[in-house]
Structure 1
Amino acid sequence: MPRLPHTHHRGRPRQVTLAALAVGVAVSLVGCAADTGARDGGVAPPVSPPASSSPLWPQYAPPAPPGDEPTGPDRQYLSIKGVQVGAGGLKRIPVKELLEVDPNVPQLVRDAVRDCPGSACGLRAPVYRDLTGDGRDELIVALDEPKAELTLIQVYRAFGTTVRPVLISWGPLGLTGETFGHDLVLASTGNDGRFTTRYRWDGNVLTAAVPQGQTGDRAQSAAGSSPSPSPRNRTDR
């Protein structure tokens, strides 16, 4: 009886090997996918609150230096008698004449403007800006007084046909200012840095809107702001 040719079945082991390899790759992929998920890093560290000021003596109010003038909402400067505001507004009123009859300023100012006009005159050019938001310009006057080492900045406002100050501020010689919107910012520079005070219309006068502070690397803010004492005459200092 003739023998049939012997057939070797080699394909089945190869198929088993490929299947096992595919299973191993799938398990590896599943493991990699699991590694991309969120992990528990433990308890989060506590968040510290931001630092805040803590006054040493919260109930203490420093006394005002002698001669200081109140600048709160109840402050009311006197109207200037003998000066009327006409159709041209404050721009038609000579600044020198205004200061000479203003009862709100000390004799030092009246003595100083006697040098005007002239080389010794400390009056700067008047500036007109709307500081109240009513569309009308106020008059800003600056007077440098080297003998007293002071600068006066004064703001006048028209009330109908009368005029009176709404701000009188004395500062170190060279005191200057600028406006931001309707706010007036006065600034002085000394050995300790640059100091600024921002004034805002409160319906009656210009009051300090931001406490006096120091800008720059040594910035700090004071507890309050008040003007320097008004000098009485040219020999006070």
Structure 2
Amino acid sequence: MSASRRSRRTRAARRAAVAALLLTAAAGCGDAGGLQGAGATPTAVGPARLWPELTPASSPAFVIGEVDTQAVKGVRVPGDDIREVDPVAVVRAEIAAAPGDYALAKGPYRETARRMADCGKGAGQGRCPVLRPYYRDLTGDGRDDLTLGFRLLPGSTTAVRVYTVDKHRLVQVMAWEDALSGVELARRSLIIRSPSEVAGYEYRLTWTWDPQQRAMLLTHDEMLRTGNRHHPSRRPSPGASSPSPSAGTR
């Protein structure tokens, strides 16, 4: 992914606010489990529409690239089985397609390109920047898809990619780069957690497969409290740690 494409993906974190009404069950002497009120219920207040005189926009002001799929050139899928695809070859193909980012002389991720020479034993081995691949059916077609991560060096940024097989081709259906604190797979979704510059909070982004767009769409972008009072270092501009144990592995 080029630096300009990454810059289009920068976005402000959105705070999520949730209100809930709690009812508790009482189990005191002589009480057969009846419900007890939790107190007065606040009056519901609907959303207030601001600036109603503005004409609704019909097109986006910025091209963010929510639907950004592309076939991976030069990588074959034997028998349409994504598990037969070499993850290291997939990353090498991305490096070859973006020489400005990975050029050994002055590219921002030149160390990643240099360390690819350490991938002789495969992804997730030794000093290879390509992390262990994970396999799960994210598209709902009954076949495994590939979730792949690799370190963008020098620095603390990790690239996360999702690939599927479409018409005998390997197709990238999701891409993101960031400093990561966790990655999870849940049903048809990929969840990425990243540290925030605000103490005690983290960013949590969820991509979910959309059959109409045939891509993983960014469906949730939240800033959530973690309870950690430690103030992390400033969050770098976007682009793994282990996904959930239930994810299938090679």
**Is the helix fraction higher in 1 or 2?**
1
TM-score by length of 1: 0.58
Residue type matched to 1:202 in 2?
D
Q: CA RMSD in A?
A: 3.6
Rg (Cα) greater in structure = 1
Residue type matched to 2:79 in 1?
A
- SS of 2:154's partner is coil
Residue 185 of structure 1: how far off its partner (Å): 1.0
Whether contact under 8 Å (1:112, 1:121) holds in the other structure is no
**CA–CA separation in structure 1 for the residues paired with 2:89 and 2:164:** 16
Q: 1:195 — aligned with what?
A: 203
**CA–CA separation in structure 2 for the residues paired with 1:140 and 1:113:** 21
Q: 1:41 — aligned with what?
A: none
Identify which range, 90-99 or 104-113, moves more after superposition.
104-113
**CA–CA separation in structure 1 for the residues paired with 2:60 and 2:168:** 40
Residue 140 of structure 1: how far off its partner (Å): 0.6
Whether contact under 8 Å (2:193, 2:204) holds in the other structure is yes
Whether contact under 8 Å (2:135, 2:145) holds in the other structure is yes
- Give the share of equivalent positions with the same residue, in percent: 17
- SS of 1:87's partner is helix
Q: Which runs of 5+ in 2 are unaligned?
A: 1-39, 103-108, 120-124, 228-236, 240-250
Q: 1:205 — aligned with what?
A: 215
Give CA deviations for 1:48-88 in whole Å, capped at 9, x if unaligned.
33364766898799965xxx85113xx332x1233221227
Give CA deviations for 1:195-229 in whole Å, capped at 9, x if unaligned.
1111111222101112x1111279xxxxxxxxx56
Whether contact under 8 Å (1:116, 1:123) holds in the other structure is no
Give CA deviations for 1:169-191 in whole Å, capped at 9, x if unaligned.
1112x353112211111111244
Give the 3 Å change call, closer, same or farther, for CA 195–56 of structure 1 in structure 2: farther
Residue 158 of structure 1: how far off its partner (Å): 0.7
Whether contact under 8 Å (1:150, 1:171) holds in the other structure is yes
Residue 139 of structure 1: how far off its partner (Å): 0.6
Q: 1:179 — aligned with what?
A: 185
Give the 3 Å change call, closer, same or farther, for CA 116–55 of structure 1 in structure 2: farther
Q: 1:114 — aligned with what?
A: 116
Q: Which runs of 5+ in 1 are unaligned?
A: 1-44, 219-227, 231-237
**CA–CA separation in structure 2 for the residues paired with 1:83 and 1:145:** 21
Give CA deviations for 1:68-114 in whole Å, capped at 9, x if unaligned.
85113xx332x123322122711111111111123665534861552
Residue 146 of structure 1: how far off its partner (Å): 4.3
Give the 3 Å change call, closer, same or farther, for CA 83–145 of structure 1 in structure 2: closer
- SS of 2:75's partner is coil
Give the 3 Å change call, closer, same or farther, for CA 160–53 of structure 1 in structure 2: same
